[in-house]
Amino acid sequence: MITLKGKHIYLRALEPEDLDFIHTIENDESIWEISSTQTPYSKYLIKQYLEHAHKDIFEVKQLRLVISNYSEEPLGMIDIFDFDFKNGRAGIGILIKDQSNRERGNGSEALKLLIDYSFAHLGLHQLYCNISEENEASLKLFKNQGFEKIGLKKQWNYVNGSYKNEYLFQLINN
């Protein structure tokens, strides 16, 4: 049985009520480095995005879910992107919004749920992620879920006046 429910958190579809939560995340300049965001997003644009969030992953090549605790508090977001059905692969990204909810197992539980869903329900063969070499928390998170470092993209991202390296990690469903 496939479930998106864990012991402490669950993954759910985006809802119109998530507008302010997503707006806050998308406009937090401190995380733009991991999301490749260049400019702020208006609530209008995010509302339009939410109105189309119900579209099928096979159509839009993306699935964005909210990480929520059982008190119905949104903790973060987890995404499948660049969904490639033909080759059985997709990228994966995760963000826990508030520092107080990090390093408590929420990200690990969410990532495990999405990995299981991706392999069992979507039939993917592999997942990949891109992580800045300075993002120690994400490096640890993905390594602990079985992702392997397969490459280094040198001077890949220009951030705050300097180029930073980025690792490519991969998890193959054997």
Per-residue pLDDT of the chain (174 residues; tens, 9 = 90+): 446 999 999 999 989 898 888 888 887 776 666 666 666 778 777 777 777 776 777 677 889 999 999 999 999 999 999 999 999 999 999 999 988 888 899 999 999 999 999 999 999 999 999 999 999 999 999 999 999 999 999 999 888 889 999 999 999 998
**Contact present, 65 and 14 (Cβ < 8 Å):** yes
| CB-neighbour burial class of residue 74 (10 A; exposed 0-12, middle 13-18, buried 19+) | buried
Domains of the chain: 9-125 (3.40.630.30)
Residue 25: Cβ within 10 Å count: 19
Check residue 150 and give its pLDDT.
97
Q: What is the pTM of this model?
A: 0.87
- CA 95 – CA 35 distance, rounded (Å): 9
Residue 105, token pair as written in the block: 């197992």
Cα separation, 56 vs 153, in Å, equals 31
Q: Return d(Cα 128, Cα 158) in angstroms, integer.
A: 21
